[in-house]
Structure 1
Amino acid sequence: MVTDATNCPHCDGSTPVFFTDGKDNDRFYESINGGSVHTACPIGTALLASLLAVCVLVAVVSAAPTCPQYDGSTPVFFPDENDSSSFYECSNGRSVHMACPTGTVWNSNINTCDWPQSRK
């Protein structure tokens, strides 16, 4: 994820280049041949920067964890203390509530969704 419009490549490669809006957590830019296209996530979703330009559902939860203001090279996750099949991923200082696939639960030991019998 690129964070500055001046870093747009002049020619598109095989991997798309995205960068955050910087103001809105539900908007991002896609670099296209040295220029950029400003794009909005669908209503009710927000940009999850660590996964390239993936918009995910946003859940407003009062017990959401406090995230670092800036994303580092390693994603920051928190378990949902009220729902073992959900977790939070930090994105630009905000916590984004995410759900595990059906039948799996959050495993904090490996920071991913896992089968319940594997979580210890």
Structure 2
Amino acid sequence: MSDLFAPPGGWRVRILDLSGASEDNVTEEVGGFPTLMQANAFARRYVRDSVERCRAAGASAREVLDAWFAFGEDAEVVDAGEAGWRSNTELQDFADRPAAEEERDWRALDPRRDPGLDLE
């Protein structure tokens, strides 16, 4: 697949609740990404933010991962196949290294955001 052949309505990112709070673990699907690159970047930042929300002061990387698998949220690009970003490729790095603010800013890429709104 390529960005030239986005599905109708754009690419979608599925948010998964790892705590098992819902039956199928799907919290929501965010649609309308015009490119696969944007959908992948959103998914990556969303997971990066989730990992950081699970990071306790002084926690080891293992403890961060344990907390994320128990309480965090994962994200996947729907129907992107091998071209879709996968959390397992970067999860250890996320746990090892705290994120900079920009690495966590999934809201800046959210297609649901009204560009006329100033959220700052």
For normalisation by structure 1, the TM-score amounts to 0.27
Larger relative contact order, structure 1 or 2 (CA cutoff 8 Å, min sep 6): 2
Which of 1 and 2 has greater Rg?
Answer: 1
Which structure is higher in helix share? 2
